[in-house]
Amino acid sequence: MMILIEYGDKMKIVTEPTVTIIAKQVFLGHPDYPIPDDGNDATKIGAFAAKGCYDSFGAEGRANEENQLAILEHQHGSVLEHINFTLFIEGITRGLSLESNRHRPLAVSQRSTRYTAEEDASIVLEPYFAKLWNKYKPFIALEKDDITEIGDFNIDELNFIVSHISSLEESFHAYQKDVMWLMKMNPLSLSGFDLRKWARGKARNVLPHALETRITYTGNIRAWRWFIEARSDRHAEPEIRRLADVILNVLRKEADIYFSDFEVAEIYDDIPVWVPKYSKV
């Protein structure tokens, strides 16, 4: 669940991403080439594709789930490319999107900063900053007035997170002022939507990497497996590691058979490192 916290006049703070499956495929079957009835639509799609390679159709043939586990074991990853899931991701930074959008097998549709108003947008705290914010928020928000109530209190941590949040808020104020001045100057004599788009397109240069973005991604199972494997690695950037962990847990609810071989190798920087039994399928 994405956690939103108000800070200052309008700026909201997000401390976790939210991933929602908004679309998945339906297996319709073929009138002349039956397969067994076990498994969900994703498993049936994968099994049909695999059985087509060997002409091993038949309602009484090898079970679909058994077939797909063998596909993983033998690393026939091309079969997994027939199975797609579409995810809507919220609560990640535009900085993270520069990395996630490099996964070219994924189809990407991202929230625009040119066509949308960012005056009341949110900022996202990467894991370490989120940890500090959650620790000191009661004191910063004046919910508590005794700093001794905060366990393991560290004045440098408190000063840092306050300074960091204040800097982000200042960038939003600068954006609002730039939009106002640009719309007032209006050198192209624009109006309405065109004027707002023109002003926002220029003012967005002062917005921080921490600005929240929202993205719709469509990817096949092979692409999602690689995203999780690569971005869960301890050497990956912490925010995208946090996202990979959430994506894995969401996809497991719909297609567990394709992600059940992922196991936690270690907890690094408070985030699981997921390693698949069948790597780079």
Cα separation, 19 vs 141, in Å, equals 28
What long-range pairs does 169-175 form, CB within 8 A, spacing at least 24?
169/7, 169/8, 169/11, 171/206, 171/207, 171/208, 172/10, 172/11, 172/118, 172/119, 172/121, 172/123, 172/207, 174/206, 175/118, 175/119, 175/203, 175/204, 175/206, 175/207
Residue 231 annotated among the catalytic residues of the structure: yes
Check 204, 225, 231, 241 and give the catalytic one. Answer: 231
Residues annotated as catalytic are 231
